[in-house]
Amino acid sequence: MRFNKTYLLSNATKIPGYLEKEQVVEILRAAKLCSQRDFLLLRFMWRTGVRVSEVINVTPNDIEYKNSVVNIRKAKGGRQLRVLLDQDTLKMLSDYILALNTLEDPPVFPISRAQVFNLVKRYGDKGDLKIHPHTLRHSFAIHLVRSGMELRRLQLLSGHSSLSITQVYLQFKDDDLREAYERVSF
């Protein structure tokens, strides 16, 4: 199984490759067979687009189940961020937190950055993918844009300070461009 290669922009910014939705599903399936924690952590990252440092600091208090929102108190640049999360993942997360019988303050995923990098690599290797956590973030962004999300809204969900930062994630394959072009009515 292959994933889309890393791109190099003219300003020498290295852009990570991204996974197709089916590839993410395969990684999640492999994680689910091994560990509920790993599965939920990866699913959370895929469904929210958060960075490693953000996901490992989420506590039960940060989750607003009624609003389908997770408050990221320690986002990049010291900012706060509110990310959306689907009801199915929220339900799994709620069950997981209840099963842990954890307090409201400790992180939901009490693991280190290095452990997250290792588990992403491990599950990627199972599918012959050489990926890292930021690949999930990039895949999230590409998936949302392909699904019709406006760039400004993606910027807000990603916690970027400017649209130019968000645009870095928008490296598409020829097929993506062709599909968009073919939808245009001339």
List domains and CATH numbers for the chain. 7-182 (1.10.443.10)
96 is catalytic: no
What is the pLDDT at residue 101? 84
The answer to whether residues 135 and 17 touch, using CB atoms and an 8 Å cutoff, is: yes
- Rg (the chain; Cα; Å): 17
What is the pLDDT at residue 139? 93
**pLDDT confidence bin for 7, thresholds 50/70/90:** very low
Q: Which of 43, 47, 51, 138 is catalytic?
A: 51
CA 38/CA 27 separation, integer angstroms: 10
pTM: 0.84
76 is catalytic: yes
160 is catalytic: yes
134 is catalytic: yes
- Residues 16-38 pLDDT 10s: 588 999 999 999 999 999 999 99
The answer to whether residues 48 and 156 touch, using CB atoms and an 8 Å cutoff, is: no
Q: Which of 43, 47, 138, 169 is catalytic?
A: 169
CA 108/CA 1 separation, integer angstroms: 31
Residue 153 clears pLDDT 90, i.e. is over it: no
CA angle in degrees (0–180, nearest 5) for 177-27-133: 75
Q: Strands 14-15 and 7-8, how do they pair?
A: antiparallel
Residue 74 clears pLDDT 70, i.e. is over it: yes
CA angle in degrees (0–180, nearest 5) for 140-144-145: 120
Residues 6+ apart with CB under 8 A from 79: 159, 161
Strand partners for 64: 69
CA 13/CA 134 separation, integer angstroms: 14
With both helix axes pointing from N to C terminus, report the angle between 36-48 and 113-126 in degrees, rounded to the nearest 10.
Answer: 90
Task: Kindly state the average pLDDT of the residues 71-78.
Answer: 88
